Amino acid sequence: SFVLTQPPSVSVAPGETATITCGGNNIASETVHWYQQIPGQAPLLVTYDDGDRPSGIPERFSAFKSGNTATLTISRVEAGDEADYHCQVWGGSSDHRLFGGGTKLTVL
């Protein structure tokens, strides 16, 4: 079955660029979406369809994919970006509708 693998944690200083990866077998052939989840809150869609941003999401959030890795990049990181980030794909079968394990972004 398809599996999405994320690093448990990523740390970055304010103003720097955070890179959060999501690994999966030939994930470049999938459509990948990313969510931000602040502790105690529901997830918030930050990019969809491999890199489009919903209204209200800053341009600092961008996404791309290549080969077996999808990547969410947050430039000019702010303290308010500290959260868990989850990647997601949706396939044709029930075992292909899944999220990655989530990555906790810490702003130092």
CA distance 16 to 32: 24
Of 17-25, 56-64, 69-77, 92-100, the window that binds other proteins (rule: CB under 8 A) is 92-100
Contact between 65 and other proteins (CB under 8 A)?
no
Q: Please identify, using beta-carbon distances, which residue of 46 and 107 lies nearer to other proteins.
A: 46
- The footprint of other proteins on residues 30-59 (CB under 8 A) is 31, 33, 35, 37, 41-45, 48-49, 54
Which residues have C-beta within 8 Å of that of residue 25, sequence separation ≥ 6? 2, 3, 68
CB of 23 to other proteins, least distance (A): 14
Applying CB under 8 A, among 38, 97, 106, 108 the residue interacting with other proteins is: 97
CB of 42 to other proteins, least distance (A): 4
Q: Which residues bind other proteins (CB under 8 A)?
A: 31, 33, 35, 37, 41-45, 48-49, 54, 86, 88, 90, 94-95, 97-102
